[in-house]
Structure 1
């Protein structure tokens, strides 16, 4: 076997645009509202942290703030280190 799945060549030979359509869809999904969702999540976490602080649970507020900060930092660092091949 040469690394291709059974029938893969047949499908690609029948419709060469088939594989390209998946690549276009993947690129479109990669650009979909990630920034807006991240900002909304940070806003919700800030409100939750503030609410916990006002209710007298500073440990919980700090835990929420640190967790969200760590997730945001990991997301920002991984956004620049994408393992997707260049086109």
Structure 2
């Protein structure tokens, strides 16, 4: 899973800060319904399982911190 925070400066969207590369099996976050090639490729699945796992609350907290930091550097004018 990844999440992104928009970078807005002077009412113009300049891009996004992307963060993530984590796994969550929390029921608050929907999983993909269809099987992907990553689930059948043993090498890809090994890398998937090596990614850090976080709870929903931890992911939301990290996204709020990143959003606050972004707003400090790029105030919504």
State whether TM-score is above 0.5.
no
Higher relative contact order (CA 8 A, sep 6+): 2
Superposition TM-score, scaled by structure 1 size: 0.29
Question: Which structure dedicates a bigger proportion of its chain to strand?
Answer: 2
Larger radius of gyration: 1
